[in-house]
């Protein structure tokens, strides 16, 4: 029986997609031999920031790019970020029923907390594992295992919900059921190739999967 629900943050419960793309476009403008486009950025979203900047810029030293990215990201955060439909009501229902909720993200803690607070989700979350808390980010299972340890649960009691193949692979490697979300910018068909246990088109579809179906009135 499911006791723990782990969520990725960006692109899964908090819609930061446009903020991320604009942050990359801003920090990479004039910094690469060829312009970096939205079409190139989107399929590569989901990795830790330093890895993405190295990939997009072709540099090993990305400190100045990271500073530009984070300055733009922080100053534009609240105007470009919102939760996905029905996320708040679903997390509230999971919390009401006593399921433990955790976040496993490749973001830093500061912006993770900003997103959760802005969307009114922080009160439902009992554990947060960020890129700063692990030595190996997703798709390595370290973050999921750390969240389970913090929440006092086992892989058999947990599910992981995410919008990226990194989330699906990390869940599979941790022995946790993987749930993909079709609103991923990478698309349903792409995520399905990684064989998640479930795909959902609406966050409310998560409730029956974890045994938290809302009774009809």
CATH number of the domain bearing residue 43: 1.10.150
Same structural domain, 203 and 102: yes
For the segment 31-45, the average pLDDT, to the nearest whole number, is 89
Query: What CATH number has the domain bearing residue 96?
Result: 3.40.50.1000
Q: Are residues 132 and 194 in the same domain?
A: yes
* 216 falls within a domain: no
Q: Are residues 47 and 66 in the same domain?
A: yes
* Residue 8 annotated in active site: yes
65 and 102 both lie in a single domain: no
pLDDT of residue 216: 45
Query: Phi and psi of 92, rounded to 5°?
Result: -65, -40
43, 92: one domain: no
Read off the pLDDT of each residue in 28-46 and give the average, rounded to a whole number.
Answer: 90
90 occurs within a structural domain: yes
Q: How confident is the model at residue 146 (pLDDT cuts 50, 70, 90)?
A: very high
Same domain membership, residue 108 and residue 127: yes
- Whether 49 has a pLDDT exceeding 80, the answer reads yes
* pLDDT for res 214: 62
Residue 107 and residue 200 in one domain:
yes
How many domains does one find in the chain?
2
Give me the pLDDT at residue 143, please: 98
pLDDT tens per residue across span 52-102: 999 999 999 999 999 999 999 999 999 999 999 999 999 999 999 999 999
Residue 66 sits in the same domain as residue 88: no
- Pairing of β 100-104 and β 82-83: unpaired
Cα 150 from Cα 152, distance rounded (Å): 6
The residue ranges of DSSP E strands in the chain, in sequence order, are 4-7, 14-15, 82-83, 100-104, 127-129, 158-162, 177-181, 198-200
Q: Is 215 a domain residue? A: no
Instruction: State if pTM tops 0.85.
Output: yes
- The answer to whether residues 43 and 131 belong to one domain is no
The residue range of the domain holding 62 is 16-80
């Amino acid at each position: 029986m499911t006791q723990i629900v782990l969520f990725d943050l960006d692109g899964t419960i908090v819609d930061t997609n446009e903020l991320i793309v604009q942050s990359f476009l801003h920090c990479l403008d004039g910094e690469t031999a060829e312009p970096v486009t939205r079409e190139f950025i989107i399929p590569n979203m989901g990795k830790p920031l330093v890895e993405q900047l190295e990939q997009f810029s072709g540099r090993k030293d990305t400190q100045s790019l990271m500073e530009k990215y984070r300055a733009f990201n922080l100053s534009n955060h609240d105007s470009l970020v919102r939760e996905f439909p029905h996320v708040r009501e679903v997390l509230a229902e999971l919390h009401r029923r006593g399921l433990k909720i955790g976040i496993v993200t490749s973001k830093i803690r500061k912006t993770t907390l900003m997103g959760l607070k802005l969307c009114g989700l922080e009160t439902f979350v009992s554990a947060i594992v960020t890129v700063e808390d692990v030595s190996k980010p997703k798709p390595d299972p370290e973050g999921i295992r750390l969240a389970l340890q913090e929440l006092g649960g086992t892989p058999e009691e947990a599910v992981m919900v995410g919008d990226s193949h990194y989330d699906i692979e990390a869940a599979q490697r941790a022995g946790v059921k993987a749930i993909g979300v079709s609103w991923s910018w990478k698309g349903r068909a792409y995520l399905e190739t990684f064989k998640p246990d479930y795909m959902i088109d609406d966050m409310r579809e998560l409730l029956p999967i974890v045994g938290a179906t809302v009774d009809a009135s």
